[in-house]
Amino acid sequence: MIKFRAWDKKTSSYRKVLGIEFYPDGQIKKVKVGGLQRKGTITPDQLVLEQFTGLKDVNGRDIYIGDIVSAWSDVDKSVSPTINEIVSENFGGEPGVFLRPVRAHLLEPCLHESCRNQFEIMGNVHENPELLEENK
């Protein structure tokens, strides 16, 4: 299922995306959002759209682009969990859904259920930017 959430820059809160209207060239024209503070249609420059990855964390929560997750392997218990940002392109700029590690680690976790990795959402890039600071 393709679904999105939206970070509202004005209210600094997440909004439920009810619909997206596009221009003929594929650019986003308007986003219909719901929520307690503001309902209605908002232009894309007022929002940060974040797509659902199709995966859930160990607590059953949907994982979106912009989430910060702790990742570990079911296969190799000796590898410590790592903190990663969920991003929409790799370091080479190719689109997709990727883990961007906060600090270098030996095994790059894979963002696919088939890799038998486990994920736990620790926060997101808007409300918890301190989680992305490299531990020194």
End-to-end CA distance of the chain: 39
Q: What is the pLDDT of residues 15-50, one digit of tens each?
A: 999 999 999 999 999 999 987 666 788 889 999 999
Q: What is the pLDDT of residues 101-119, one digit of tens each?
A: 787 654 455 566 555 678 8
CB-count burial class (<10 Å; 0-12, 13-18, 19+) for 105: middle
For residue 33, list its beta bridge partners.
17, 40
Phi-psi region of 31 (alpha: psi -120 to 50; beta: other; left: phi over 0): beta
Amino acid at 78: S
